[in-house]
Amino acid sequence: MMKKLILITLSMTFTLISGFAVSQDRGIGGVESLRGNVELEVTRAADPLKKVPRDQLDIESSYVFQPPLIPHHIRSYEISLNANKCLSCHSWTKAKQMGATKISVTHFTNRNDEVLADVSPRRYFCLQCHVTQADAKPLVGNSFERVKSLQ
Amino acid sequence: MKWIINALKGFWTILRRPSKAAVGIVLFMGFAGGLMFWGAFNTGMEATNTEEFCSGCHAPIVAEIRDTIHYANRSGVRAICSDCHVPHAWTDKIIRKVQASKELFAFFITKTINTPERFKERRAHLAEREWARMKKNDSLECRNCHNFEFMDFSEQSPRSVRQHSTALASGEKTCVDCHKGIAHRLPDMHKVEGWN
């Protein structure tokens, strides 16, 4: 009697486990992710592309020494060995006339802290640090708060 | 052979006689000839105005333009090469060179822009020539589509308005002074005013 009971329980457990295993082989098993509630095998329709506004109000910094964000579109603005369109407005000689923000003095120092006569090569490619902002909601919650001095 | 000459002679006598028929025929021939010439001329001009035509010699440029606003935009209105360029004054410059000498033409092509390196070297010079041309005609080609009179500053972004309502409105500057590289990658700009 005891033997039979053990055998039945065991076989039932195995059936259940293998059943789970099979059902979890496929799909997302009901787990929702950033991708949405879509089975793995299905290619979900893409979200619409986010648009960068032509111009927006200056976006405030969230932490000290944050590279300021770009508050305007930069479509086809060339930054190459030949030309740097950003500097044609943001360099010290042009900024005032163009109503643009001057680049920071930190951009004239090289990595040995030597002050150069012009923009340091390590600062030349503006988009390494400065980026445009589209109107996109954060995908995951975030409890980040600005430091007191910037609030 | 002889009958043709005879027929022509007959035709000529009709034309010479001051009759209504002669006037009619002359008018008709003038009209037909004009039509044919106009048609051929236009077809020729249209053929030389297409992007495929320019890409025969300017392939790298045609490839670059695809990222820019005048190639693809929300309204689907395009500016093609010939909208912005008098295609190096076709009628006189190139065609005369072809006529003058085929070798010279080949030399002309093979010399200046046929390799990426040569184009790179020559590009600043060509760009300078275009800027000079557009400065002289007050950016006529841009203004064919963009009319300053109808620019609505309340629709433009503040950065645009700031420049358009001042330097552009006063005529102190013209479109290409500020919009260099609007359709192309730029050549070395280190010696160009406003970029150094």
Render pLDDT for B14-40 as a digit per residue (tens, 0 to 9).
Answer: 556 656 555 566 556 656 655 555 555
> Distance between CA atoms of B131 and B137, rounded to whole angstroms?
10
Global model pTM greater than 0.90: no
* Beta bridge partners of residue A132, listed in sequence order: A70
Q: How many CB atoms lie within 10 A of CB A118?
A: 12
pLDDT greater than 50 at residue B102: no
**Domain match, B106 and B190 both:** yes
Task: Return the DSSP state at B166.
Answer: I
Interface contact A143, partner B, CB < 8 A: no
Subunit contact A54:B194, Cβ cutoff 8 A: no
Subunit contact A82:B157, Cβ cutoff 8 A: no
Domain count, chain B: 2
Task: Return the DSSP state at A123.
Answer: G
Cβ neighbours for B50, distance < 8 A, ≥ 6 positions apart: B80
CATH of the domain at A77: 1.10.1130.10
The whole-angstrom distance between B186's CA and the closest CA on chain A is 7
- Mean pLDDT (chain B) is 79
Q: What percent of chain A has pLDDT over 90?
A: 48
Residues spanned by the domain of B7: 1-48
pLDDT of residue B148: 96
Interface contact A99, partner B, CB < 8 A: yes
Interface contact A41, partner B, CB < 8 A: no
Subunit contact B187:A82, Cβ cutoff 8 A: yes
**Up-side HSE of residue B63: CA atoms within 13 Å toward CB?**
5
pLDDT of residue A12: 64
Q: What is the ipTM of this complex?
A: 0.72
pLDDT of residue A42: 85
User: Tokens 């190639």 correspond to what residue?
Assistant: B71
State the count of interchain CB pairs (< 8 A) between A and B. Answer: 38
Interface contact B127, partner A, CB < 8 A: no
Would you say residue A2 lies in a domain? no
Domain count, chain A: 1
Would you say residue A129 lies in a domain? yes
Exposed (0-12), middle (13-18) or buried (19+): which is B174, by Cβ within 10 Å?
buried
pLDDT of residue A13: 62
Render pLDDT for A42-93 as a digit per residue (tens, 0 to 9).
Answer: 888 888 899 999 999 888 889 999 999 999 999 999 999 999 999 999 999 9
Would you say residue A71 lies in a domain? yes
